[in-house]
Structure 1
Amino acid sequence: MPQTVFLTGATGFVGSAVMRRLVAEGVSVKAAVRSESDRVEDGVHVVRFDSFEAADWREHLVGVDSVVHCAARVHVMNDTETDPLTAFRKINVEGTLHLARQAAEAGVRRFVFISSIKVNGEGTQPGKPYTADDLPEPRDPYGVSKMEAEQGLRELANHTPMEVVIIRPVLIYGPGVKANFLNMMRWLDKGIPLPFGAIHNGRSLVALDNLVDLIVTSRVHPKAANQTFLVSDGEDLSTTQLLRRMAKALGKSARLLPIPSWMLSSAANVLGKRSLSQRLCGSLAVDIGKTRSLLQWTPPVSVDSALELAAKHYMEHKKQ
């Protein structure tokens, strides 16, 4: 009997890539989408909803083998909500557990939850990467909401036959990436001099294809049941290294000025851009040893190959 996956966030950056992969592998997919204009792959069964945290999913979960839950209220740099934690909890905690409880009642075998490295914290010290079994130390409302969702899912798994898999990605990049990663490609493409030529931090990244591969692996791997995994490309880069290798992928030369990172951090703090400074100058590294050993999993795509894919998409779709 063919397997059926119930997929949320199916039109998002990660969810759409998961959908393409599952369809390519011949898996039957039910995709939860909000808007009539949202487009899905041919052959995918569309499930429309208005309010994620109040939707009645029960009839759509009948016969479903696994749920891959990519939908979330995502982290934003400048949140305009007066009470961000309440807003994050509504979707990321209440919505997640609402779906998970109905999935357990429907007899779904496994629930794969895409969480965030922000559950671990905001940064690491040299030689001390985060691990999957570290005590959580979320520092912002988004990270807190993801942690609380994880806790609720583990509790559900303890009291029902449904297995839960939690995946905490680091910064995700790939074709169609937005936000700061897209801005970096734009700067490099235009040849803008950047003050990031002397940053010696270490940051873990994960290519979209690598994350998707782990998601589809953990959906069926027996040893993934009720485990938490960190995921990255397995190679940490400094901001300086990333910009140079990204420029190479774009066929450009990186014009990087060797400004000391302490000067950049000081300037950013004065300008009220401390969080951006942390992303550019600070370290955030993860150890994926557990993911590798327990699942016998290796990132299938190298950093440079993934950067080339992202660069190719950017060059084909950039605004002239």
Structure 2
Amino acid sequence: MKKNPTLVITGAAGQLGSALVERLSREKYTIICLIKEHHRTDYLEKLNVQKIIPCDLKDPKTYAKHIPENAIIFHCYSLSPGANATLQKYMQENALATKILLDVAKQKKVQQVIYMSSCSVIGPKATPGHSISEDDPVAPNEPYGKSKLEAEKEVQTFHQETKIPSLILRIFPLYGPYAHLNSTPIRICKLLQKKRFFMVGNGNNYYEFCYTKNAAEGIYLAFQKLKMGIHVLNISEPIKRTYNEVIHEIAKYVNPNVKIVRIPVPLALLIGYGGEMAFKLFHKRTITRLRTVQGLIGGWTSDCTKQVQLLDYQQPYTLEQGVAEFIQWAKEEKLVL
């Protein structure tokens, strides 16, 4: 009987990594979790994992010995957009760390590498009716996206040199437990707790808001079905919901009486241009940046055609189910009153 391979998950304590570990732990795999030293482990300790290794991916001495030959690597870790770091810092944590991890993978003769990239390598497209596909030209316009694109190039080079099967999965905006404190979902919750919530436009556009467990299911299916060559694939929710639906669903839990104030799109775009100027001058990420406004009017909408066709993907969680679980976690962590 063939033994299941060992699965190594980087960033296993993070928002996406923890959801992926939970999904993989339902199967009969040996799971090794690589985490940052400061990350919590209480959730991982409840799951069926063999090892939890605090490490620095840029320093192989802290983790290489824990990766067995013929393992499969799920590379979830990245310095998030909410970190507000410099381009140099993002390149170190996302691109350089990926290159070093792939060097270890080459030495260990791993079976497969699955890299969690981001739709940020393409950037928001605020064109009504146009969603982001895998074939769109890459054009990252901020440090995080640029670093993720460089990491994608490292994976492509790795595959060309080794012929080891590799997946580049472009993850779209997420929400779920273990979200970064400066992430968009947490900020939305806090803004909704005020008397007024300012909404760009009429809110009838699609808004990309992918529950981490839905993304984890897509990653699992890609791992199961795409075993040869190299593939680039969007991972998000095929069932689209509007910005109105997302905001009202969250408001049900955090502030049902919030007053929605609608800002005309042209005015919001003008404010966004001002935010871009402030970002370039002071390198501080604000909610009024142009790319944020573009996202609010549908610029991050994903094309999940390949995800559905290649993976036979069926979305396991609805918006209502995902938001309920997310808010429960946020309240337990006292991030939401």
TM interval, shorter chain, is: 0.7 to 0.9
Deviations 1:56-79 (A, max 9, x none): 444322234310001112223743
Decide which of 225, 237, 243 is 1:239's aligned counterpart.
Answer: 243
What is the aligned counterpart of 1:221 among 211, 218, 225? 225
Question: 181, 198, 207: which is aligned to 1:195?
Answer: 198
CA drift of 1:36 comes to 7.1
Segment drifting more, 111-120 vs 24-33: 24-33
| Distance in structure 2 (CA, Å) of the matches to 1:27 and 1:216 | 12
> CA–CA distance in 1 between the matches of 2:252 and 2:38?
40
Q: 1:139-197 CA deviation, whole Å, 9 max, x = no partner?
A: 11211111121122112112213111111111101234342211222333x36221217
CA deviation vs aligned residue, 1:66-120 (integer Å, no higher than 9, x gap) = 10001112223743x3xx2x22222211211211122123121111101100011
The number of equivalent residue pairs is 314
1:91–1:233 CA distance, 2 compared to 1 (3 A): same
Taking the TM superposition and a 5 Å limit, the aligned residue runs for 1:206-285 are 206-222=210-226, 225-248=229-252, 252-270=256-274, 272=278, 273-275=288-290, 276-281=292-297, 283-285=299-301
8 A Cα contact 1:32 1:48, kept in partner: yes
Gaps of 5+ in 1: none
Q: CA, structure 1 residues 176+253, in 2 after alignment: closer, same or farther (shift >3 Å)? A: farther
Separation of aligned partners in 1, 2:259 and 2:293: 19
Change in CA separation of 1:124 and 1:230 when aligned onto 2, cut-off 3 Å: farther
**Contact 2:90 2:144 (C-alpha < 8 Å) held by counterparts:** yes
Match of 1:7 among 6, 9, 16: 9
Verify the 8 A CA contact 2:207 2:296 in the aligned structure 1. no
Q: CA deviation at 1:244?
A: 1.6
**8 Å CA contact 1:174, 1:309 repeated in 2:** yes
Higher mean Cα deviation, 104-113 or 119-128? 119-128
On the 8 A contact 2:234/2:307 being kept in 1, the answer is: yes
Is the 8 Å Cα contact of residues 11 and 38 (structure 1) preserved in structure 2?
yes
The correspondence for 1:52, drawn from 38, 57, 60, is 57
Aligned twin of 2:334: 318
1:266 and 1:203 map into 2 onto residues whose CA distance is 21
Q: TM-score, normalised by structure 1?
A: 0.87
Q: Please, which runs of 5 or more residues in structure 2 have no aligned partner? A: 279-287
Contact 1:204 1:234 in 2 (8 A): no
Residue 63 of structure 1 pairs with residue 78 of structure 2: no
Q: Percent identity at matched positions?
A: 21
The within-5 A match list for 1:300-319 is 300-318=316-334
- What is the Cα deviation at residue 128 of structure 1? 1.5
Distance 1:251 1:25, change over 3 A: farther
Once residues 39 and 122 of structure 2 are traced to their aligned partners in structure 1, the CA distance between those partners, rounded to angstroms, is: 36
- Take 1:74 and 1:37, find their aligned partners in 2: how far apart are those partners? 14
Name the CA distance, whole Å, in 1 between partners of 2:83 and 2:36.
24
- Contact 2:118-2:169 within 8 A present in 1 as well: yes
Give me the CA root mean square deviation. Answer: 2.5
Report whether the alignment pairs 1:289 with 2:305.
yes
* CA shift in 2, pair 1:33/1:312, >3 Å: closer
> Is contact 2:120-2:140 (8 Å) kept?
yes
Query: Larger deviation: 136-145 or 24-33?
Result: 24-33
Q: CA deviation at 1:268?
A: 4.6
Indicate whether 1:132 and 2:134 are aligned.
yes
- Conserved 8 A contact 2:7-2:32: yes
Question: Matched residue of 1:244: which SS?
Answer: helix
SS in structure 2 at match of 1:24: coil
CA displacement, residues 224-274 of structure 1 (integer Å, 9 cap, x when unaligned): 751111122123344333212322355824521233222233345446432
Q: Distance in 2 between matches of 1:194 and 1:203?
A: 16
Change in CA separation of 1:214 and 1:225 when aligned onto 2, cut-off 3 Å: farther
Secondary structure of the structure 2 residue equivalent to 1:104: helix
Contact 2:11 2:36 in 1 (8 A): no
**Residues 210 and 37 of structure 1: CA distance in aligned 2, closer, same or farther (over 3 Å):** closer
On the 8 A contact 2:14/2:178 being kept in 1, the answer is no
> Letter of the aligned partner of 2:315 in structure 1?
P
Q: Which amino acid aligns with 2:59?
A: A
